[in-house]
Chain A
Amino acid sequence: MANDSGPLHRALGLTDSELDDIREVLHREPNPLELALFGVMWSEHCSYKSSRIHLRRLPTEGERVLVGPGENAGVIDAGDGIAVAIRIESHNHPSAIEPYQGAATGVGGILRDVFTMGARPLAVMDPLFFGPLSDARSRWLVEGVVAGISGYGNSVGVPTIGGELTFDECYATNPLVNVLCAGALPVDRLVLGRASGVGNLAVLLGSTTGRDGIGGVSVLASAGFAGDDGAASLDDAKRPSVQVGDPYEEKRLIEACLALLDHGYVVGIQDLGGAGLVCATSETAARGGVGMDVDVTAVPQREPNMQPYEIMTSESQERMLAIIEPSSWDAVKALCDKWEVRATVVGRVTEPAVTSSGERVGMLRVRRGFDGEVLAEVPASALADDAPLYDRPRQRPADLDALRADDPTSRVPANISDDVAELLIDPAWVYRQYDSQLFLNTVVGPGRDAALLRLAGPGLPASQRGVALSTDSNPRWCALDPRHGTAWTVAEGVANLACVGATPVAVVNCLNFGNPEHPEVMWQLSESIDGMSDACRALDLPVIGGNVSLYNESGGRDIDPTPTIGLLGLVDRLVAAPPGWTWRDGDTVVVVGATPTASAAGSRWATSRGWRGGVITAFDGPTFAATARFVTSEVARHCAGEPSDVVAVHDVSGGGLAQALLEMAAASEIGISSDLPLTGADLITETPGRFVLATRDIAALRERAERAGVPLHVLGQAGGSRVTVGSALSVDVADVRRRRVSALEDALHAVK
Chain B
Amino acid sequence: MTRVGVVVFPGSNCEYDAAAAVDAVGAHSEMVWHTATDVSGFDAIILPGGFAHGDYLRPGALARFSPVMEAVRDFADSGGPVLGICNGFQVLTEAGLLPGALQKNRGLTFLCQPSRVRVVTTDSVLTHQSFVGQELSIPINHFSGSYTCDDLTYQSMVEKDQIVLRYVENPNGSRDDIAGVCNENKNVVGLMPHPERSMSELLGSADGKILLSGFVAGTFARH
Contacts and interface: CB of A to CB of B under 8 A. Distances in A.
Interface of A: 147, 150-151, 154-157, 246-248, 251-252, 255, 338-340, 431-440, 442-443, 454, 457-458, 574-577
28 contacts: A150-B109, A150-B110, A154-B110, A154-B141, A155-B11, A155-B13, A155-B54, A155-B55, A156-B13, A157-B51, A248-B54, A251-B10, A251-B13, A255-B10, A339-B10, A340-B10, A433-B110, A434-B110, A435-B112, A436-B112, A437-B112, A437-B139, A437-B141, A438-B14, A439-B16, A574-B202, A577-B201, A577-B202
Contacts of A157: 11, 13, 50-51
Contacts of B21: 440
A432 B112 contact: yes
Contacts of B196: 440
B141 A247 contact: no
A252 B201 CA distance: 32
Task: Summarize A's interface: helix, strand, loop or mixed.
Answer: mixed
A576 B202 contact: yes
Nearest to B199: A440
Contact of B10 (A252, A436, A576): A252
Nearest to A429: B109
Contacts of B112: 154, 431-437
A440 B13 contact: no
Contacts of A576: 202
B221 interface: no
B111 interface: yes
A432 B113 contact: yes
B197 interface: yes
Contacts of B197: 437, 440
Contacts of A433: 109-112
Contacts of A440: 17, 20-21, 196-197, 199-200, 203
Given A251-B10, A251-B13, A252-B11, A432 B109 contact: yes
A577 B50 CA distance: 27
Nearest to A159: B112
Contacts of A435: 110, 112, 141
A459 to B, nearest CB: 9
Given A248-B53, A443-B202, 8 more contacts: A155-B13, A248-B55, A252-B11, A432-B113, A437-B139, A438-B13, A439-B16, A442-B203
A524 B10 CA distance: 47
Interface in B132-159: 139, 141, 143
Contacts of A248: 10-11, 51, 53-56
A351 to B, nearest CB: 39
Interface residues of B, number: 32
Output the residue of B10, B14, B21, B200 with the most chain A CB within 10 A. Answer: B10
The 5 closest A-B pairs by CB, nearest first: A248-B54, A157-B13, A433-B110, A155-B51, A458-B16
Contacts of A577: 201-202, 204
Interface in B1-59: 10-11, 13-14, 16-17, 20-21, 33, 50-51, 53-56
A334 to B, nearest CB: 14
Contacts of B199: 440
A157 to B, nearest CB: 3
A150 B111 CA distance: 10
Nearest to A446: B112
Contacts of B202: 443, 454, 574-577
A154 B51 CA distance: 9
A302 to B, nearest CB: 17
Contacts of A154: 51, 110, 112, 141, 143
A577 to B, nearest CB: 6
B65 to A, nearest CB: 14
A437 B110 contact: no
A434 B113 CA distance: 9
A432 B111 contact: yes
Contacts of B55: 155, 248
B141 A439 contact: no
Q: Which of A147, A248, A340 has the most CB of B within 10 A?
A: A248
Contacts of A147: 109
Contacts of A432: 109-113
A150 B21 CA distance: 25
B30 to A, nearest CB: 14
Given A437-B203, A442-B203, A251 B51 contact: yes
A463 to B, nearest CB: 14
